[in-house]
Structure 1
Amino acid sequence: MSNIASNLKYLRRKKGLTQQQFADLMGIKRASVGAYEEDRAEPKYELLKKIAECFDLTMDELANEEIDEKWKPTPKSNASSMRVLSVTVNQDDRENIELVPVKASAGYMNGYGDPEYVADLPKFSLPMFNQGTYRAFEIKGDSMLPLPSGAVIIGEYVENWHDVKPGQTYVVVSREEGVVYKRVAFKYKEDKGLKLVSDNKTYDPYWVSSGDILEIWKAKAFISTELPEPSPEPTMETLTSMMAQMQKTISAVVDNGKG
């Protein structure tokens, strides 16, 4: 039998939150909180995950442990995961995609967990991203060419930083570097953090330490007002050069065969 109802009521009160305050924090209706605490309904998977993260618990602990004053949580590393403390939902009770413009990126390091700050961000939704937690970040500069400055990266929230995969791109939010969009060079290391690489090789790679990282979002799509230009038509000079190179390659193969 699930202990979600009693655990939620105990944890909410221990944190000093009213049902309305907790509902605002989770982006749901107050009546839903009452239904969960009275065991008349159970949160869906995504909401259950957010509730567990809010109280720094696993979903298994929230659902199955009897949490009270005597309960002691299993020690866990804080470096391997972070929590999204606030999201917003649309009229269908589905999570929005909040947009962090470049001009708001400096304030995002302080406000990413503040419900009021997040609620004030521009927001939208896309039908292909209706499961999971997503956020959009406007990027600037030329470090990730061919993506132009001003493009918007849509990222999916990474709960466990050990799930970060080398060679893939992420939006990494850190105290020192702010909001950056980079490619990860190595798998996440708790003692070091992440090594980030720009696709534009004129920029040097660098490490972001574990203690400095606030959030990681896996890049899933991008939006840009700059449409790709068509490939230029080959000139006679280009074709002549290609033919010469092909002849050299063929001659080398023939000479090797004779040898």
Structure 2
Amino acid sequence: MKTHIFFGNNVKFLRVRQKRTQENLAESLSMTRSKLNCIETGQTKSPSVEDLLKFSAHFKMSLDTLIKIDLSKLGELKLRELEAGNDVYIKGGNLRVLAITVDKENNENVEYVPIKTKAGYRSGYNDPEYIAKLPKYSLPNVPKQGTYRIFPTVGDSMLPIPENSDVTGKYVENWHNIKPNTPCIIILKDQQDFVFKLLTFQKDKTLTLKSLNPTYQPYTVLATDVLEIWEFHSFSSQNFPEPVSDFSVLYREIQALKTTIEKNQKI
């Protein structure tokens, strides 16, 4: 299997993003312009370790990222995170490459993943050509910062959110920043359907998945079995919400009574 090396193209791509000439960058790296040109054009197949480390330090990116990842295919948000020094390879993780599409104004689209394409999504989630074929929407009230995608849900495990809702999620890059019991869409390697659960990231690199519906028991999956995580942003549904149960009304009345008693005790 052929290994793709993106180092030279990435160096040129990042230099152009910084609006620097070859001569200017070469001077900062203490090398000749001709050497830099040979690296960018691929004429130098095996740059020295010293030179590789120079580029890594200058761009604040790990060698894994500079060599293995085609940076030109990443979204603007991800590029800014890398340029700010937030490279997950440096933190000891694996870089999850997110394929996106943009509109004519270079704004990211919100793609919709239909039910019939769920099985294919697991194999094409990081393929720009596959993502480009998904339906695209421009939604109101979606922040410009971040990448969003819409996933249809099935089942009643997250009631009172109705069955067959369309959940809009925000892409999560750093899973360690997820707060306990955060509602998320989780894409698992070996599971055909998408999972919509309350997610808690554990210290042993497992994820606990919990349903809002108490009839479903929580369970644990390995972080290595997870392809993507999308934090809940909003949902839409054609189903009218279930009426509030008598138990819910009783619970609220008990809580209100408890609050009243506590206030009277303080008087």
Q: TM-score range by the shorter chain?
A: 0.5 to 0.7
Partner of 2:213: 200
Distance (whole Å) between structure 2 residues aligned to residue 171 and residue 118 of structure 1? 17
Distance (whole Å) between structure 2 residues aligned to residue 218 and residue 120 of structure 1? 23
Q: Which amino acid aligns with 2:197?
A: K
Scaled by the length of structure 2, the TM-score of the pair is 0.61
Q: Which amino acid aligns with 1:50?
A: K
Gaps (5+ residues) in structure 2? 1-12, 19-36, 43-65, 262-267
Partner of 2:150: 136
Q: Is residue 2:84 matched to residue 1:60?
A: yes
Q: Is residue 2:72 matched to residue 1:50?
A: no
Distance (whole Å) between structure 1 residues aligned to residue 97 and residue 68 of structure 2? 19
Is the CA contact 1:12–1:22 (under 8 Å) kept in the aligned structure 2?
no
SS at match of 2:162: coil
Gaps (5+ residues) in structure 1? 27-45, 64-72, 235-241, 254-259
SS at match of 1:154: strand
Q: Is residue 2:182 matched to residue 1:172?
A: no
1:1-259 alignment, distance < 5 Å: 4-5=14-15, 25-26=73-74, 47=76, 49-51=77-79, 58-61=82-85, 75-78=90-93, 82-84=96-98, 86-129=99-142, 130-178=144-192, 179-184=194-199, 186=200, 188-189=201-202, 191-228=204-241
Is the CA contact 1:83–1:159 (under 8 Å) kept in the aligned structure 2?
no
Is the CA contact 2:71–2:79 (under 8 Å) kept in the aligned structure 1?
no
Against the structure 1 CA distance between its residues 74 and 223, is the aligned structure 2 distance closer, same or farther, given a 3 Å change threshold? Answer: closer
Distance (whole Å) between structure 1 residues aligned to residue 40 and residue 242 of structure 2? 55
Distance (whole Å) between structure 2 residues aligned to residue 109 and residue 75 of structure 1? 26
SS at match of 2:84: helix
Distance (whole Å) between structure 1 residues aligned to residue 40 and residue 233 of structure 2? 34
Aligned residues: 195
1:109-150 CA deviation, whole Å, 9 max, x = no partner? 110000111011111011321321001100011111122221
Q: Which amino acid aligns with 2:230?
A: W
Against the structure 1 CA distance between its residues 15 and 197, is the aligned structure 2 distance closer, same or farther, given a 3 Å change threshold? Answer: same
Distance (whole Å) between structure 2 residues aligned to residue 60 and residue 124 of structure 1? 30
1:210-229 CA deviation, whole Å, 9 max, x = no partner? 11111111100001112336
Is the CA contact 1:82–1:160 (under 8 Å) kept in the aligned structure 2?
no
Is the CA contact 2:168–2:232 (under 8 Å) kept in the aligned structure 1?
yes
Distance (whole Å) between structure 2 residues aligned to residue 183 and residue 51 of structure 1? 29
- 1:204 Cα offset (Å): 1.5
Is the CA contact 1:156–1:220 (under 8 Å) kept in the aligned structure 2?
yes
Partner of 1:35: none
Against the structure 1 CA distance between its residues 75 and 93, is the aligned structure 2 distance closer, same or farther, given a 3 Å change threshold? Answer: closer
Distance (whole Å) between structure 1 residues aligned to residue 128 and residue 183 of structure 2? 27
Distance (whole Å) between structure 1 residues aligned to residue 158 and residue 185 of structure 2? 12
Bigger relative CO (Cα 8 Å, ≥ 6 apart)? 1
SS at match of 2:216: coil
Distance (whole Å) between structure 1 residues aligned to residue 93 and residue 129 of structure 2? 25
- 1:167 Cα offset (Å): 2.2
- 1:153 Cα offset (Å): 0.5
Distance (whole Å) between structure 2 residues aligned to residue 177 and residue 105 of structure 1? 10
Against the structure 1 CA distance between its residues 12 and 193, is the aligned structure 2 distance closer, same or farther, given a 3 Å change threshold? Answer: farther
1:210-249 CA deviation, whole Å, 9 max, x = no partner? 11111111100001112336769x9xxxxxxx9xx99xx9
1:21-46 CA deviation, whole Å, 9 max, x = no partner? 976x34xxxxxxxxxxxxxxxxxxx6
Following superposition, which runs of at least 4 residues in structure 1 exceed 4 angstroms of deviation? 6-17, 229-232
Distance (whole Å) between structure 2 residues aligned to residue 142 and residue 12 of structure 1? 55
Scaled by the length of structure 1, the TM-score of the pair is 0.63
